[in-house]
Chains A and B, each alone.
Chain A
Amino acid sequence: MKTGRYAGSTQQQARPGPSSELLPILIMDILTYSGHLLSGAWITVQLTLYSSVLGLFFAFVLGVGRVSDNPFVHGLSAGIIEFFRGTSLLVQLFWLYFALPMIGQTLGYDWRFPPMLVGTLALALNIGAYAAEVVRGAIQAVAPEQYEAAKALDFSPRQTMWRIIVPQAVPEMMPSLGNLAIQNLKDTALVSLISLADLAYKAEQLRNFTQDSTTIYSLLLLMYFGMALVVAGLMKLAERYACRWRAGGSV
């Protein structure tokens, strides 16, 4: 794998040009850095995937809870949403990673969790709280006649919500959920602060070692951008699938 890359760069080296001295060095650097950064990127991908899926789960539970007639369920959901929207992700991360183990220690429990778990949980709760509001809004946009049709067919309130209302609300949610997924990808960079070796962490490590800020941060930008494009593309596909029953296809 690595040798292949270097073999590629030798061909580039042969190409003449104004920067014929600098370019090969730059390419060599980029390839060396990339190998190192890619291992961090893989952590970032995993973290984005896990926290997006878990966040989506939170979003539906909290979003549906928010429109519940039960005042307890409604209040609890609203409280959780407001709490996680109203506190910064960074503080949530630090609290779960540094404060929670201390509390556990006081109480005599081992509440130290691996950074991957803490990162996933904090990201999921944060993005889930935002997405819950998207879910709530989309549910409230479903025509009231759909509830009547469901009632006339004797569906239970729960069946009505999960089989009739929520599936119809999904197309309405998709553009916003797509934005939030990208937001979530970018937010993963914060987990480097709890020593999780993600893309941002690896970049910082490399920069400390080489002092080559320009190349490394440029590469970092491009890598996040590339991943964001992939996320956007996937969300577009998901949107197309979710909208397949609509007259004009997508929204």
Chain B
Amino acid sequence: MSESNQSDKIIEFQNVTKSYGDHVVLDALDFSVRRGEKVTIIGPSGSGKSTVLRILMTLEDIQDGVIHVAGKPLWHEEKNGQLMPASEAHLRMMRKEMGMVFQQFNLFPHMTVMRNVTEAPRQVLGLSRDKAKKRALKYLDLVGMTEHADKFPSQLSGGQQQRVGIARALAMHPNILLFDEPTSALDPELVGEVLQVIEHLASQHDLTILLVTHEMQFARQISDRVCFFDQGKFVEEGRPEEIFTEPREERTKAFLSSFLGDH
């Protein structure tokens, strides 16, 4: 039983520590996500919950501990039975497992929507122009952006840009999709269209989703599990109805009540 659980874990943090100077962002963190699981991380702003995603995407490194993604160490390589810091080649291989959707979209402003989605499949995966375009059209259709394929990002609304951002990440066929506050930078009226797309993705069984968000209602709808993160640790985690209706920890209660009070 425990053996099968072990191999089922697509992401596993063991004793992971990260700090900026004296400020501890991740404090000996243990955390795991099963293949196909939809996990939401909630918590106060600035608590470092985005850092969990950024470390997975290899945008930031760790000081201590080990992370496994799809059974392989992320920030390390095994050499002669020992874990050594990962080479750039190893990191590039590991990144193929994951895709990321950013708070500020981070589309490539000098490329049309179509090129934003085809560039990485063509250059990184080596797809032909036709194949990449076909793949791009599939995902642009999924996010409802096909008709804007020839526009530049500056001609799109925030919600439209974020939907392109999602299509761009999907076109690389990641097993894990990381959403870093995907609607936080959007005007309220544009949040819905993006959440709708994410909700659709969440209905796919094989895709693992790790989502950092302040949209509590949405987290409740799509998550298999909700994790409350504060001061470098996961304070509490469980099924959405547990966390939102009967949180055990005082800090979770305080956060949720202040949050609900604010909104």
Which residues of A approach B to under 8 Å, CB–CB? 145-146, 148-149, 151-157, 159, 163-164, 167-168, 244-247
Determine if B119 and A151 form an interchain contact, defined as CB atoms under 8 angstroms apart.
no
Chain B residue nearest in CB terms to A149: B106
Determine if B102 and A153 form an interchain contact, defined as CB atoms under 8 angstroms apart.
no
Determine if B59 and A151 form an interchain contact, defined as CB atoms under 8 angstroms apart.
yes
Determine if B59 and A148 form an interchain contact, defined as CB atoms under 8 angstroms apart.
yes
Which chain B residues border A246 with CB–CB below 8 Å?
A: 109, 154
Which chain A residues border B108 with CB–CB below 8 Å?
A: 146, 149, 164, 168
Cβ-neighbour of A148 out of B92, B106, B120 (below 8 A): B106
Determine if B100 and A167 form an interchain contact, defined as CB atoms under 8 angstroms apart.
no
Chain B residue nearest in CB terms to A159: B123
Which chain B residues border A145 with CB–CB below 8 Å?
A: 102, 104, 106
Determine if B57 and A152 form an interchain contact, defined as CB atoms under 8 angstroms apart.
yes
Chain B residue nearest in CB terms to A245: B152
A245 shortest CB reach to chain B, Å: 4
Once the chains are docked, how many angstroms separate the CA of A56 from the CA of B219? 52
Determine if B120 and A155 form an interchain contact, defined as CB atoms under 8 angstroms apart.
yes
Most buried by A among B88, B109, B110, B168: B110
B175 shortest CB reach to chain A, Å: 13
Determine if B124 and A153 form an interchain contact, defined as CB atoms under 8 angstroms apart.
yes
The 10 closest A-B pairs by CB, nearest first: A149-B106, A153-B120, A247-B154, A152-B100, A245-B152, A154-B95, A145-B106, A167-B110, A154-B124, A245-B110
Q: Is B58 an interface residue (CB 8 A)?
A: yes
Cβ-neighbour of A151 out of B57, B111, B123, B152 (below 8 A): B57
A157 shortest CB reach to chain B, Å: 8
Determine if A155 and B59 form an interchain contact, defined as CB atoms under 8 angstroms apart.
no
Cβ-neighbour of B168 out of A146, A153, A157, A168 (below 8 A): A153
Interface string of B91-117 (1 = CB under 8 A from A): 010011011101010111111000000
B14 shortest CB reach to chain A, Å: 24
A-B residue pairs in contact (CB < 8 Å), sample of 28: A145-B104, A148-B57, A148-B102, A149-B106, A149-B107, A151-B57, A152-B99, A152-B100, A153-B99, A153-B119, A153-B120, A153-B124, A154-B92, A154-B95, A154-B120, A155-B120, A156-B92, A156-B124, A159-B124, A163-B119, A168-B108, A244-B152, A245-B110, A245-B152, A245-B153, A246-B154, A247-B154, A247-B155
Q: Is B172 an interface residue (CB 8 A)?
A: yes
Chain A residue nearest in CB terms to B103: A145
Which chain A residues border B169 with CB–CB below 8 Å?
A: 152-153
B209 shortest CB reach to chain A, Å: 15
Determine if B57 and A153 form an interchain contact, defined as CB atoms under 8 angstroms apart.
no
Once the chains are docked, how many angstroms separate the CA of A133 from the CA of B107? 27
Interface string of B250-262 (1 = CB under 8 A from A): 0000000000000
Which chain B residues border A146 with CB–CB below 8 Å?
A: 106, 108
Which chain A residues border B99 with CB–CB below 8 Å?
A: 152-153
Which chain A residues border B104 with CB–CB below 8 Å?
A: 145
Once the chains are docked, how many angstroms separate the CA of A159 from the CA of B98? 19
Chain A residue nearest in CB terms to B155: A247
Determine if A155 and B123 form an interchain contact, defined as CB atoms under 8 angstroms apart.
yes
Which chain A residues border B124 with CB–CB below 8 Å?
A: 153-156, 159
Determine if A151 and B95 form an interchain contact, defined as CB atoms under 8 angstroms apart.
yes
Chain B residue nearest in CB terms to A157: B88
Once the chains are docked, how many angstroms separate the CA of A133 from the CA of B124? 30
Once the chains are docked, how many angstroms separate the CA of A151 from the CA of B54? 11
Most buried by A among B99, B111, B123, B168: B123
Which chain A residues border B109 with CB–CB below 8 Å?
A: 168, 245-246
